[in-house]
Structure 1
């Protein structure tokens, strides 16, 4: 939402962002690994693949231009069994087709030279992956948008959207209303509900969001790991596996796991402690007592339990009778990496004749 506001504020005289929370990034945007992904995992020609590769480049440029904390640390996807090497080769091929540069398979010896602590049979090196200060990214987008004249209205919840002959009337929880020819639904965990407000039933159009929780555990045992380190991805496609998350201070944590929930609750579930320890122990020596609860987040997934890959939905809903109502639904990972590319994509969806 902030990335779209920042881009649109440069071309439109009146841009309003309605945010129901008292500040930005209270949910998915700040409860994640703060990773700039490369685009290796996603099917060729999917929006996730195209926007991730482009967004990665755009985001690095943005971070450098505005001197925002980040590090191009790279990522190692490690195989802990011989049979996993073929999975790395498939990822390399898929990533290359998607336009990801610099991918290479490393031998066990080479991985040990880079990261001697890990149990591995080899790894896929992904040099374009990095980490960043997501709070500062959001703060800068907010600042630029407002500097350009956009209005960022916090504590402002949308409760109704009515289509008119020449646009939409948006009603807020305090009863205030505004009229706009363009509405962009970037409501994250609530995007399906906002879409329904205008008259697009989520179930009928396969827009239903499923809440998928991910938790992180942290440790102080290790502080000398230079790369992000991931296992081979979960074959169900629900997550990328419990991996090593490092921040700009060098602090280490593990996660996220993935399980579906029925309500928004960021509390940690201690029953997953054993699962975390077992997963991490496959590639790193660590005792059960040396990891403990850190934080959690919730993904707005279109893919329900047991279902296959689902791409982002980024649509001008004119074919459903709602011109210039732009839906962004299921913007989970790699949505943060894609944010600037998504903003550009959304701009190109606007029908200027309406």
Structure 2
């Protein structure tokens, strides 16, 4: 490894790759450092792979702004780069009359975010397009879709390399020091490298890395809360043509139906707060899943519900706290030092990835 670099991005998940891609497109010499042996082995490999429309997020928040702009950029990018995806559409369903008010609230919030294609449906209208779904009303989002997230990351990697960037795997950053003119990083194995710009896109490890960076006050680093989510798959043919979501809860979007690109249905994620990274699948969650799913899919055959996989969301809000925005701390938050840290990049991080990359790169233009 060279002893100095122009721009270093730590983390080769979908957001880290998108950030590196944006810097490379601006003509920066980019080096991506990834602790694992390949791209996207953490949060990015264990998501719902949904392209979100921009419904749930508070108007003017980073999540709202970057999701809506990122969604449009992502569909265009997928078409241009032949990344497999499908604009299936999504139904948010109210299973009781009081929840209909939530649908109207979603519609109003989405309109404030610039999502203009939602349509309120009666329960009968929902059944006409999704016969297996039982509800009193629904909200149809035609702009929601699904994507091959690994294929997307491969395309981002190709863009980085086409612009002269490099990704180093099995390269773990141990610690570093911030200076006004750059950042010094110490790499496992005894290597030290200085960079004019460093972006911490470490996902679940972002807070831990910043806590090992000399020059960053510990109080400026938000707490990390780990929300473990299980996904169960549905064996046999899917009864759904679209994604189906219940009304969201305080910790997430509820136990919803997503489809993969082969048409197979999966349910999840649930929310289980944990204090350390643990990808063990807890099959005891099945009963909770069945109860939640039957609220809108009463014909569920429990024997068809099979363990799938586990994901962990890096949240900056904990149990009982309101949902938090993306937390992106740039040079202004670090005394002008050319360092940025991305905390709490959960959903809609994949959807927003292109917009996130541009947002972060531009922070350094304005520093």
TM class, shorter-chain normalised?
over 0.9
Which whole-Å CA distance do the structure 2 matches of 1:242 and 1:165 have between them? 46
Equivalent runs, 1:166-315 vs 2, <5 Å: 166-198=181-213, 199-202=215-218, 204-205=219-220, 207-234=222-249, 236=250, 238-284=251-297, 285-315=299-329
- How far residue 250 of structure 1 moved from its aligned partner, in angstroms, is 0.4
Match of 1:138, SS state, is: helix
Q: Which residue of 2 aligns with 1:89?
A: 104
Tell me, in whole angstroms, the C-alpha distance in 1 between the residues paired with 2:135 and 2:155. Answer: 40
State the 1:352 CA deviation: 6.0
Which secondary structure does the structure 1 equivalent of 2:220 belong to? coil
Secondary structure in 2 aligned to 1:29? Answer: helix
2:358 corresponds to which residue? 344
CA deviation digits over 1:278-334, x for unaligned, max 9?
Answer: 111111111222212100100000011111121111121334324221111110111
TM-score scaled by length of structure 1: 0.96
Q: Which runs of 5+ in 1 are unaligned?
A: none
2:366 and 2:287 mapped to 1: Cα distance? 55
Q: Comparing 314-323 with 167-176, which one deviates more in the overlay? A: 314-323
* Aligned CA-pair RMSD: 1.4
Measure how far apart 1:177 and its partner are. Answer: 1.6
Q: Distance in 2 between matches of 1:8 and 1:128?
A: 28
Shift of 1:206: 5.2
Matched, 1:39 2:54: yes
Counterpart of 1:114 in structure 2 is 129
Matched, 1:70 2:85: yes
Answer with 164-173 or 294-303: which moved more: 164-173
Q: Structure 1, residues 227-283: CA drift from partner, whole Å, max 9, x if none?
A: 10000111x2x1100000101100011000011111111110122110001111111
Residues 206 and 173 of structure 1: is their aligned pair in 2 closer, same or farther, counting only changes over 3 Å?
Answer: closer
- TM-score scaled by length of structure 2: 0.92
**Residues 3 and 141 in structure 1, CA contact (< 8 A), matched pair in contact too:** yes
Partner Cα distance (2:35, 2:87) in 1: 34
Aligned length: 350
Paired residues of 1:195 and 1:201 also in contact (CA < 8 A): no
SS at match of 2:212: helix
Q: Deviations over 1:43-71 (max 9, x none)?
A: 11110011001110010011000011100
